[in-house]
Structure 1
Amino acid sequence: MAKIVAGVGSSHVPLLGVAVDQGKWQDDYFGPIFQGYEWTRQWEKESPPDVVILVYNDHASAFDANIIPTFAIGCGERYKPADEGWGPRPVPDVEGHADLAWHIAQSLILDDFDMTIINEMDVDHGLTVPLSMMFGQPDKWPVKVVPLAVNVVTYPVPSGNRCWALGEAIARAVESFPEDLKVQIWGTGGMSHQLQGPRAGLLNREWDNKFLDLLESDTDAARHIPHIEYLRETGSEGIEMVMWLIMRGALGKRVKRLNRHYHIPCSNTAIGHIVLEPAD
């Protein structure tokens, strides 16, 4: 049967994609950021998964104010990089795993999650930047991807508790898939940052690291952090961290940390990265 073997959390700052695409990832500014991913890149190379369930948010590329799904799962065969206003990123198309995606969609809907099923969409930096951070610049991505888009752009956004529960349901879905697959689940976005208004540029190293501590713990306290705390402590875009809770919820009660990295600043955001594996 299929099995979730690890979870990865990562920021998906678009500037990191620019650094990769323009070969700047080793310069004085970006070098310290990318050094924190070196362990993970080697680990992924030595033991790649068959499929990544990649939890991200769309930035008005596939969805807009006319269609705002809370949770949307990509069940297609292939996804092209989106044009976000300056042309698509020069990265490979993302190959889906339609059989697993449809199985997960059915399982989640029967488990009382109202998923939006997407068969055709372009994917933006929210999905492609994490792939670049883990796999560099290959001619073809070495894994298949099941995209899972979460609305964290327009209120109301899902609660942390609902995201954690979705992760638990995803784990049940994966475990019931009959094909022998190694699956990773990635939660992306964050960490603390605000892009507009009087608090633009807000960074909160202390809160971000407390959040990472909670992800490593065997409690489920992180699932009960209220929206107002994310907004107050981490800025308007810090709410993206609820997507990390989908990843964490899928890993079970106890986890083992394999890698952890934190850096500020990158543009006007904080960079966070963690790799966990189930310990139960």
Structure 2
Amino acid sequence: MARITAGISTSHIPAVGAALDNGKIGEAYWKPVFAGYEWVKQYEKDSKPDVIVLVYNDHASAFDMKIIPTFAIGCAEEFPIADEGWGPRPVPAVQGHPDLAWHIAQCCILDEFDLTIINEMAVDHGLTVPMSLMFGQVPEWPVKVVPLAVNVVTYPPPSGNRCWLLGEAIARAVASFPEDLNVQIWGTGGMSHQLQGPRAGLINKAWDQAFLDRLTSDPEALRHMPHIEYLREAGSEGIELVMWLIMRGALGTNVRELHRHYHVPASNTAVGHIVLEPTGKDLS
């Protein structure tokens, strides 16, 4: 049977992708950002996942105000790289896993989660930057990907608890897939940042670190954290962190933290990254 073997979360800052693409990773400003991902790059080489269920948010590349799905699952064979206004990133197209994606869609919809099924979708930095951070600059990605796009751009975004419950439903779906697959689930976005208004440039280091701590020490509190706390403490774009709770919900009750990285600044935000492994499951 397929199994979820790890959960990984990371920021998906577009400037990080630009720094990588333009050969700036050795510069003094960027070097500590990328140094924090050396551990996970080796971990991925050793773990050899077959598929990543990659939770991210689209940045007006695949969706706009004409259609705003709360949860959208990509079921295509391949996902091209979006042009976000300065040309597509010079990274490989993302290969999907339609069989697993359709299975997750079917299971979750019958589990009363109304996923939007997408069969044609370009993916932007929200998905490609995490791939580059975990796998580096490669001629082709070493894994297949099931993209799960979450609306955290336009009000109302889903609650943390709803995201957690979706993670549990995804884990049940993966566990019922008959093929022997090593599956990881990633939650991306965040951490604290705000891109506009009087609080533009906000970074809350203490709150970010507490959030990372609570992923293992007090996840129950995170799943019930109201939107207003994200907005007040982590800025308007800090709401992206609810996507990490899909990852966390999929891992079950008990997890072990394997690696953590936190660095300020990176562009106008903080970089956060954590690697967790489930030590037992309670997904009934």
> Smaller-chain TM-score range?
over 0.9
Q: Pick which of 18-27 and 178-187 moved more.
A: 18-27
CA distance in 1, matches of 2:154, 2:219: 29
> 2:70 aligned with 1:63, yes or no?
no
Runs of 4+ in 1 over 6 A off after TM superposition: none
Residue 270 of structure 1 aligns to a residue whose secondary structure is strand
What is the root-mean-square deviation of aligned Cα atoms in Å? 0.6
1:209 maps to which residue? 209
**Distance in 2 between residues matched to 1:219 and 1:202, nearest whole Å:** 24
- Residue 48 of structure 1 deviates from its aligned partner by 1.6
Q: d(CA) in 2 for partners of 1:17 and 1:105? A: 30
- Equivalent residue letter for 2:136: G
Match of 1:160 in 2: 160
SS at 2:26 equivalent: coil
Quick one: distance in 1 between partners of 2:218 and 2:242? 18
One-letter amino acid matched to 2:189: G
> 5 Å matches for 1:1-280?
1-217=1-217, 219-280=219-280
What's the CA shift for 1:217?
Answer: 2.0
- Partners of 1:218 and 1:254 within 8 A in 2: no
The TM-score normalised by the length of structure 2 is 0.98
Q: Which amino acid aligns with 1:58?
A: D
Aligned to 1:67, what secondary structure does the other structure show? coil
Asked if the contact 1:81/1:91 (under 8 Å) is kept, the reply is yes
Describe the superposition over 1:6-44 as per-residue Cα deviations: whole angstroms up to 9, x where unpaired.
000000000110111111112101110111111000111
Is the 1:261–1:274 contact (alpha carbons within 8 Å) kept by the matching residues of 2? Answer: yes
- Aligned partner of residue 241 in structure 1, secondary structure: helix
Residues 137 and 197 (structure 1 numbering): CA distance in 2 closer, same or farther, change over 3 Å? same
Aligned counterparts of 2:153 and 2:56: Cα–Cα separation in 1: 11
**Residues 44 and 134 in structure 1, CA contact (< 8 A), matched pair in contact too:** yes
Cα distance in 1 for partners of 2:161, 2:188 equals 17
Deviates more, 1:52-61 or 1:215-224: 215-224
1:222 Cα shift? 0.7
* Counterpart contact for 1:24–1:30, Cα < 8 Å: yes
How far apart are 1:219 and its partner, in Å?
A: 4.2
What is the percentage of aligned positions where both structures have the same residue? 74
SS of alignment partner, residue 214 of structure 2: helix
Q: Deviations over 1:112-166 (max 9, x none)?
A: 0000000001000000000000011100000000000000000010000000000
Whole-angstrom CA distance in 1 between matches of 2:196 and 2:169 = 35
| Contact 1:159-1:242 at 8 Å conserved across structures | yes
Q: Secondary structure at the residue paired with 1:141?
A: coil
Which amino acid in the other structure matches residue 258 of structure 2?
A: L
Distance 1:143 1:205 in 2: 33
The alignment of Structure 1 onto Structure 2 pairs a total of residues equal to 280
Normalising by structure 1, what TM-score? Answer: 0.99
Tell me, which stretches of 5 or more residues in structure 2 are unaligned? none
Letter in 1 for 2:155: Y
Gap runs ≥5 in structure 1: none
